[in-house]
Structure 1
Amino acid sequence: MKTRDIIRKVDKLGRIIIPKEIRKILGIEDSKTNLKIFTEDDTIIFQKYRVGRACSVTNKVTIQNKAYAGNVVLSPGGKKLYFTNSD
């Protein structure tokens, strides 16, 4: 996906507006899409949240997460940690 710089002001309540073209490209629908918000160093990251697809070990939501027996969802990193520590 092509990236571009878009500058937005934060209002008095701490809100920002995600531009319509970005919402359309990412399929973010009003009142229907949950966003996970987290930080990494000095960066704020917004990620579409998919209920039930968060890794049981790392709590990360990635497209590589897989569901295993017992409805356990693991990310690639969570799978390594899980099987390394299950001795």
Structure 2
Amino acid sequence: MKATGVTRKLDNLGRVVLPIELRRNLGIGICDTLEIFTEGENIVLRRYNATDGLLEIAQRMKDRVAVEDCGEMKPVLMDKLEEIEKIIMSGTDKH
């Protein structure tokens, strides 16, 4: 983790302001959505990307189909799930 040397206090509602320099350097814009994680005693902010969640769901479905007895449908299901992944990924190329 890289230290910035910047400190901020929480206001009475628990909010903290991210400095404009930091937001500019990281490409975080007004109305961008951030995810909040904890890592040990640290709070981690990351720009939210809905595509990651969709790809994770598609991968879990593929993993499940791979171990289930789907008969003749298994190759069709796997092809469709791969197609879904390609569609999701093509949407990220446009942004």
State how 1:34-73 maps to structure 2 within 5 Å.
34-54=33-53, 55-56=56-57, 69-72=82-85
Residues paired across the two proteins, number: 61
Q: TM-score, normalised by structure 1?
A: 0.60
Q: Which residue does the alignment assign to 2:27? A: 27
List gaps (5 residues or longer) in structure 2. Answer: 61-80, 86-95
Q: Which has the higher strand share?
A: 1
Q: Quick one: distance in 2 between partners of 1:37 and 1:4?
A: 19
- Flag the structure with larger Rg: 2
Q: Which has the higher helix share?
A: 2
User: Deviation per CA, 1:17-63, whole angstroms, max 9, x where unpaired?
Assistant: 000001001111111x1100010110000001111222335xxxxxx
Q: Quick one: distance in 2 between partners of 1:71 and 1:44?
A: 33
- Runs of 4+ aligned structure 1 residues displaced above 4 Å come to none
Q: Which residue does the alignment assign to 1:13? A: 13
The two structures, once aligned, show a CA RMSD in angstroms of: 2.1
* Equivalent position SS for 1:52: helix
Q: TM-score, normalised by structure 2?
A: 0.55
Q: Which amino acid aligns with 1:8?
A: R
List gaps (5 residues or longer) in structure 1. Answer: 58-67, 73-87
Identity of aligned residues (%): 33
Q: Which amino acid aligns with 2:34?
A: L
